[in-house]
Amino acid sequence: MIEYDTQRWTRILFRVHGSVLPRIWVRVLLVAVVALALTAAQLEGGIEIPTSSVLHSIVGVALGLLLVFRTNSSYDRFWEGRKIIGLMVNQTRNLARQSASYLSQSAPEVRRRMGCYIIAYFAVIRRSLRRERDASELTALLTQTELAQLRQVSAPPLLVARWISDVLQEEALAGRLNDRLLVALDNNVKDINDYWGDAERILKTPVPFAYAHHIKGFLMVFCLTVPVSLIGSMGWFTPLGAMIVAYGLLGIDEIGVEIEEPFGYDANDLPMDGIGETIARNVCDALEIDSAAIVPTPQEGLKGVYR
């Protein structure tokens, strides 16, 4: 995710990275070429092209409503994803805090294992939401046996959650954790598991294909034919006017496409790596674990701007 000063509008205006321009410039250029060809055909070639702004005015209203609905739906998905990840952050902090207090009678190695598992829990959830299987960042958190087990299962987060529950059960059977505290700790694990499912719901329920196909086709037809309604009033400036219309409409559609799946690596996606690093440091602080030994540095993969 890109950090920026909302009051420095000039820097926002002239910054290309993170904008939709790199994604749509080819389509905008195509509209300009078509507009130039139509303008030349009418003004220089003597070909009479029926011109009327009425049709595009009527169609433009319907298209505008579709684009607004599309963008709002995408932002709803983005904001819901942010809330879900925020709840995961809260629950990992709660789990670390409770582990530090309720496992005070346990050996330091037990608390360290809990910390490593909590950090690994969010890490594998992040990988799962990105459809990745790589676990190289977990080498300082898990044993080689555990890493091998993660590679063999279809749902790595569920396996890590089971390991956390196993640690809690072992401490309960050893008499170092009573049933009430066991339930309190396990509820946090359950909640994180639920939030993972909520995030998967966003990931695995894309905008229906029929809607995406129709709006893109409708949008391109509108942009490619809009020069017809502009030639009479704009003359040779028609390509410029068509480019402005195409940039605005295609850009709105592309914004919706980029933010509808907020867990990836796009410039406007959630700072998942930074959130993971923050969770790791918070957990290490709560459980008094040496973070230098198990928290990857930004150069090793946990890059982000989340604070």
Residue 305 lies in a domain: no
Are both 128 and 218 inside the same structural domain?
no
For 251-287, how does the pLDDT look when each residue is reduced to its tens digit (9 = 90+)?
A: 999 999 999 999 999 889 999 999 999 999 999 999 9
Are both 56 and 196 inside the same structural domain?
no
On the question of pLDDT at 301 being above 60, the answer is no
For 93-128, how does the pLDDT look when each residue is reduced to its tens digit (9 = 90+)?
A: 999 999 999 998 999 999 999 999 999 999 999 999
Residue 18 lies in a domain: no
Residue 13 lies in a domain: no
Q: According to the model, what pLDDT value does residue 239 have?
A: 94
On the question of pLDDT at 304 being above 70, the answer is no
Residue 174 main-chain phi, psi, to 5 deg: -85, 0
Are both 188 and 131 inside the same structural domain?
yes
Are both 59 and 131 inside the same structural domain?
no
Radius of gyration of the chain measured on its C-alpha atoms: 27
Secondary structure (DSSP) of 68-84: HHHHHHHHHHHHHHHHH
Residue 17 lies in a domain: no
The strand ranges marked E within 222-266 are none
**Total of domains in the chain:** 2
For 5-42, how does the pLDDT look when each residue is reduced to its tens digit (9 = 90+)?
A: 777 778 877 788 888 899 999 999 999 999 999 999 98
Are both 88 and 201 inside the same structural domain?
yes
Residue 31 lies in a domain: yes
User: Please, which residues have CB within 8 angstroms of residue 51's CB and are 6 or more apart in sequence?
Assistant: 228, 229, 231, 232
Residue 177 main-chain phi, psi, to 5 deg: -150, 120
Residue 140 lies in a domain: yes
Q: According to the model, what pLDDT value does residue 303 have?
A: 45
User: Please, which residues have CB within 8 angstroms of residue 300's CB and are 6 or more apart in sequence?
Assistant: 137
Q: According to the model, what pLDDT value does residue 17 have?
A: 82
For 219-246, how does the pLDDT look when each residue is reduced to its tens digit (9 = 90+)?
A: 999 999 999 888 888 889 999 999 999 9
Are both 180 and 34 inside the same structural domain?
no
Closest Cα to residue 280, out of 137, 78, 147?
137
Comparison of pLDDT for 300 and 118, the residue scoring more: 118
For 134-183, how does the pLDDT look when each residue is reduced to its tens digit (9 = 90+)?
A: 888 899 899 999 999 999 999 999 999 999 999 999 999 999 999 999 99
Q: According to the model, what pLDDT value does residue 297 have?
A: 53
Q: According to the model, what pLDDT value does residue 128 have?
A: 94
Are both 210 and 61 inside the same structural domain?
yes
Are both 67 and 91 inside the same structural domain?
no
Q: Residue 39: how many CA atoms within 13 Å on its side-chain side?
A: 22
On the question of pLDDT at 293 being above 80, the answer is no
On the question of pLDDT at 292 being above 90, the answer is no
* The pTM of the whole model exceeds 0.85: yes
Are both 109 and 237 inside the same structural domain?
no
CA–CA separation, 91 and 118 (whole Å): 10
Burial class (CB in 10 A: 0-12, 13-18, 19+), 133: exposed
Which run of H or of E encompasses 195? helix 179-203
At 302, the pLDDT band (50, 70, 90 cuts) reads very low
Q: How many residues does the chain have?
A: 307
Residue 289 main-chain phi, psi, to 5 deg: -105, 145
Comparison of pLDDT for 151 and 290, the residue scoring more: 151
Are both 177 and 149 inside the same structural domain?
yes
Residue 7 lies in a domain: no
At 305, the pLDDT band (50, 70, 90 cuts) reads very low
Are both 115 and 163 inside the same structural domain?
yes
Q: According to the model, what pLDDT value does residue 296 have?
A: 57
Which residue range(s) make up the domain with 218? 24-42+49-75+206-259
Residue 307 lies in a domain: no
Are both 138 and 247 inside the same structural domain?
no
